[in-house]
Amino acid sequence: MTGPADFETIRYETSSDRVATITLNRPEVLNAFNRQMCEEVRAAWRLVKDDPEVNAAVLRAEGDRAFCAGLDTKSSYGQPDDIWNHEDPGELLSPKWQKVWKPVVCAVQGICTAGAMYFLNESDVVICSSDATFFDSHVTYGMVSALEPVGMMRRIGLAHTLRMALSGNDERVTAATALQIGLVTEVVDRPVLWERAHEIAAGIAAKPSAATQGTVRAIWDSLDRPYRAAMEQGLIYTRVGNPIGMAEVAENPPTRTEPRLR
């Protein structure tokens, strides 16, 4: 893998199979994000978006204890003095806010709490290791949990989101439960987590990017539209993406392989 070396809180690497890998790299603080990490993650998403040699991305984190513990409360985030100019850190962390439609595979290990849900909410495929635990600590510390649950409801529904948001530190969702409720789609042993995430991303990246990006955008856009409007908008995306993707397949037919059972 290769990548720029000017990031301090994350690593950014690309590989010949058209996968970009973003690694959160503050394990000493459980990969909690500060202003610098948010800005570096935003810059990384822009690299993913603009690189024609990248068709998919993996989001992962260093360390065994945690994927991410949310906002680093011991480090000032540095909001503007004008309260009406305050921003949600999730906007910087979000590939969708940055208009990145290349598929994102997220690999979670250890603790995943509070603001870490921004990453899960904005990923297209989420897998985890068997030691992963998920919880929302906001209410335990007297804070309203109002942002992360919005995205979480779209992934696991109202009932599971409310239970997680209101339980605070009292209850943790295990990897097995996360799989059951749809928070993740696969649970693997910790030693193979990164390998498996890359395998999934590489498989996606091998498809025409016009098709995979159009699919991601059509599905995510549908969440903000009534059913009929979403269907009409989706038809437009097929008209835009299909000619490009199908021409690419005609020129380079896919290798026939035995389908993987899941």
Alpha carbons 104 and 90: distance in angstroms, whole number: 16
Q: Examine residue 3 and state whether it is found in any structural domain, yes or no.
A: no
Q: Examine residue 5 and state whether it is found in any structural domain, yes or no.
A: no
160 in the same domain as 240:
no
Segment 70-109, tens digit of pLDDT: 999 888 777 788 888 888 888 899 999 999 999 999 999 9
Which domain CATH number covers 65?
Answer: 3.90.226.10
How many domains are there within the chain? Answer: 2
Strands (E), the chain: 10-14, 19-24, 56-61, 66-68, 104-108, 111-113, 125-129, 133-135, 173-174, 186-188
143 in the same domain as 241:
no
Q: Examine residue 160 and state whether it is found in any structural domain, yes or no.
A: yes
pTM value surpassing 0.95: no
165 in the same domain as 39:
yes
75 in the same domain as 18:
yes
Segment 166-207, tens digit of pLDDT: 999 999 999 999 999 999 999 999 999 999 999 999 999 999
Q: Which domain holds residue 244?
A: 209-251
Say if strands 10-14 and 173-174 run parallel, antiparallel, or are unpaired: unpaired
Q: Examine residue 2 and state whether it is found in any structural domain, yes or no.
A: no
Q: Do 161 and 116 touch, CB atoms closer than 8 A?
A: no
